[in-house]
């Protein structure tokens, strides 16, 4: 776990009127319920492995969890897109979802009813009031919420208190480097709105007029066209991005200090490949040697400042001790484990599949046969399956590192 700096990098925040800010945020989402995904009469398509208990726990602990009858909290559920997935991906779990917008909650309830995500318990609460919920939760999901609160540290601590020992906490917050142009456009809209700030429909209209008027090649306009315009054709997305009344953006130093303020353990970023410096300076052995002398925090910082446009957000896991992580470095431990195929892959049963991050994986004949033998496997060891299909240990480790198999100690 990267250690926090002795001198905190967290942004200075004046003591806010929590209720006033919460009311303005609720007003935005009552005006523009978010996310604006359509309501359908069927389960949601695909998967997000971060919302699947088995795969999320496997990422955090290196193994499949022992139980499925868990409690999940969706903290800041909005219109229920995440809640819907959490229910469908974890059929034995009890899912509670909270949000401060009555309008968004109404959509969330209808979304889950129509898709058959039965059993979710929706509560009209802010993050600061989750102490009113009974008991603790094995998994907490908080996506795109904490950076919109007036006191994120208070929010993350409130949620940390509701995490059960051995539980995992999935968080998504904004990054300042990849959202530089967004922050400038937010200021542009605020300046042009003047005393009409808080009129979110006016803000959306002003923002769209600015983008339409700016000359071709303008940096703000070009970034919108290159990165955000596909989703921002919906006013709900445009409003959430450009006229939100409360937002705090992070860099890797402030986000690690923020995570440390929770009192929980930092497990890791859920997109580790993006943080690999080989992809940026791998052509220079000399630079890579220098990287080896750096601490993990500085490596993270180097990655984001070398490639700032890629770091629009930070998505990471925290855990509450005790959560022992298995690394499976010992060959005998790996060979004696029970291997099961990951539930988060698309295109199965085929040699060409999409992995947990929707990247194409072309399986070898042996890899394909190994995954077939792992499908719903509960008794056969890795060694037994490997012997029957003729696959080598190196390829098995590759399948494990790609999160295509889940392991259980035998």
Quick: pLDDT tens for 97-138: 999 999 999 999 999 999 999 999 999 999 999 999 999 999
Sole residue written with tokens 């010992």: 330
* Residue 355 shares a structural domain with residue 281: no
CATH number at residue 121: 3.40.50.150
Instruction: Establish how many alpha carbons lie within 13 A of residue 195's alpha carbon, considering only the half-sphere containing its beta carbon.
Output: 0
* Residue 99 shares a structural domain with residue 229: no
* Residue 223 shares a structural domain with residue 366: no
Q: What is the DSSP letter of 289?
A: H
The pair of structure tokens assigned to 286 is 């000399």
Whether residue 82 lies inside any domain: the answer is yes
Whether residue 8 lies inside any domain: the answer is no
The tens digit of pLDDT for each residue in 225-264 reads 999 999 999 999 999 999 999 999 999 999 999 999 999 9
The tens digit of pLDDT for each residue in 168-185 reads 999 999 999 999 999 999
* Residue 225 shares a structural domain with residue 352: no
* Residue 222 shares a structural domain with residue 253: no
* Residue 111 shares a structural domain with residue 209: no
Instruction: Give the pLDDT of residue 19.
Output: 87
Q: Is 407 left (phi over 0), alpha (psi -120 to 50) or beta?
A: beta
Distance in angstroms (rounded) separating the CA atoms of residues 334 and 407: 8
Strand, helix or coil for residue 208: helix
* Residue 315 shares a structural domain with residue 378: no
Instruction: Establish how many alpha carbons lie within 13 A of residue 407's alpha carbon, considering only the half-sphere containing its beta carbon.
Output: 27
* Residue 50 shares a structural domain with residue 170: yes
Whether residue 293 lies inside any domain: the answer is yes
Answer yes or no: is pLDDT of 309 > 90.
yes
* Residue 169 shares a structural domain with residue 67: yes
Select from 294, 319, 344 the last residue of a domain: 319
Whether residue 385 lies inside any domain: the answer is yes
Going by pLDDT thresholds of 50, 70 and 90, the confidence category of residue 338 is very high
Whether residue 1 lies inside any domain: the answer is no
Going by pLDDT thresholds of 50, 70 and 90, the confidence category of residue 14 is very low
The tens digit of pLDDT for each residue in 49-67 reads 999 999 999 999 999 999 9
Domain count, the chain: 3
* Residue 288 shares a structural domain with residue 238: no
Residue pair 88/43 in contact by the 8 Å Cβ criterion: yes
Select from 221, 242, 263 the last residue of a domain: 242
Whether residue 50 lies inside any domain: the answer is yes
Instruction: Give the pLDDT of residue 16.
Output: 53
Instruction: Give the pLDDT of residue 145.
Output: 97
The tens digit of pLDDT for each residue in 262-294 reads 999 999 999 999 999 999 999 999 999 999 999
Residue pair 106/68 in contact by the 8 Å Cβ criterion: no
The tens digit of pLDDT for each residue in 69-95 reads 999 999 999 999 999 999 999 999 999
Instruction: Give the pLDDT of residue 17.
Output: 77
Strand duo 94-99 + 121-124: pairing: parallel
* Residue 137 shares a structural domain with residue 84: yes
**Cis link prior to 159 (omega < 30° from 0)?**
no
Sole residue written with tokens 């910082």: 301
Q: Which domain holds residue 400?
A: 331-408
Whether residue 6 lies inside any domain: the answer is no
Instruction: Give the pLDDT of residue 389.
Output: 97
Sole residue written with tokens 């919109």: 148
* DSSP calls for 136-185: -EEEEEEES-GGGSS-HHHHHHHHHHTEEEEEEEEEEEEBTTTTHHHHHH
Q: Which helix (H) or strand (E) holds 408?
A: strand 405-408
Instruction: Give the pLDDT of residue 368.
Output: 98
Whether residue 3 lies inside any domain: the answer is no
**Residue % of the chain over a pLDDT of 70:** 96
Going by pLDDT thresholds of 50, 70 and 90, the confidence category of residue 15 is very low
Distance in angstroms (rounded) separating the CA atoms of residues 42 and 44: 6
Strand, helix or coil for residue 87: helix
The tens digit of pLDDT for each residue in 356-408 reads 999 999 999 999 999 999 999 999 999 999 999 999 999 999 999 999 999 99
Answer yes or no: is pLDDT of 5 > 90.
no
Distance in angstroms (rounded) separating the CA atoms of residues 340 and 52: 15
Q: What are phi and psi of 195, to 5 degrees?
A: -75, 5
Per residue in 29-49, is it b (16+ CB within 10 Å) or e — as a string?
Answer: bebbbbbbbeeeeeebeebbb
Please give the C-alpha separations between residue 153 and each of 163, 257, 262, in angstroms, as whole numbers.
15, 10, 7
């Amino acid at each position: 776990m990267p250690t926090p700096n002795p001198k905190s990098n967290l942004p200075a925040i004046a003591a806010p009127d929590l209720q006033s800010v919460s009311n303005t945020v609720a007003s935005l989402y009552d005006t523009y319920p978010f996310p604006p995904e359509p309501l359908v009469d069927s389960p949601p398509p695909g998967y997000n492995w971060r919302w699947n208990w088995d795969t999320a726990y496997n990422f955090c602990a290196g193994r499949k969890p022992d139980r499925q009858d868990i409690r999940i909290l969706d903290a800041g559920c909005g219109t229920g897109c995440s809640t819907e997935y959490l229910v469908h991906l974890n059929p034995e779990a009890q899912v509670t979802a909270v949000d401060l917008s009555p309008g968004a909650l109404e959509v969330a309830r209808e979304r889950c009813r129509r898709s058959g995500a039965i059993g979710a318990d929706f509560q009209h609460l802010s993050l600061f009031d989750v102490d009113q919920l009974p008991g603790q939760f094995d998994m907490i999901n908080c996506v795109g919420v904490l950076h919109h609160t007036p006191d994120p540290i208070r929010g993350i601590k409130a949620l940390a208190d509701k995490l059960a020992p051995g539980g995992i906490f999935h968080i998504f917050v904004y990054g300042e480097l990849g959202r530089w142009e967004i922050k400038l456009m937010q200021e542009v809209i605020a300046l042009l709105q003047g005393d009409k700030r808080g009129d979110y429909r006016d803000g959306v209209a002003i923002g769209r007029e600015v983008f339409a008027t700016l000359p071709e090649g303008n940096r703000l306009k070009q970034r919108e066209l290159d990165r955000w315009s596909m989703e921002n054709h919906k006013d709900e997305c445009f409003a959430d991005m450009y006229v939100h009344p409360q937002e705090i953006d992070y860099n890797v130093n402030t986000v690690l200090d923020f995570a440390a303020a929770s009192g929980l353990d930092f497990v890791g970023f859920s997109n580790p490949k993006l943080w690999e410096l080989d992809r940026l300076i791998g052509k220079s052995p000399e630079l890579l040697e220098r990287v080896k002398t750096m601490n993990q925090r500085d490596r993270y910082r180097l990655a984001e400042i070398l490639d700032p446009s890629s770091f629009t957000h930070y998505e990471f896991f925290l855990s509450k001790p005790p959560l022992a992580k298995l690394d499976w470095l010992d060959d005998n431990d790996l060979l004696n484990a029970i291997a099961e195929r990951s539930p988060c892959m698309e295109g199965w049963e085929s040699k060409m599949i999409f992995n947990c991050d929707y990247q194409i994986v072309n399986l070898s004949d042996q890899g394909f046969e190994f995954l077939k033998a792992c499908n719903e496997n509960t008794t056969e060891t890795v060694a037994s399956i490997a012997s029957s299909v003729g696959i080598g240990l190196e390829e098995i480790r590759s399948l494990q590192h790609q999160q295509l198999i889940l392991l259980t100690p035998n």
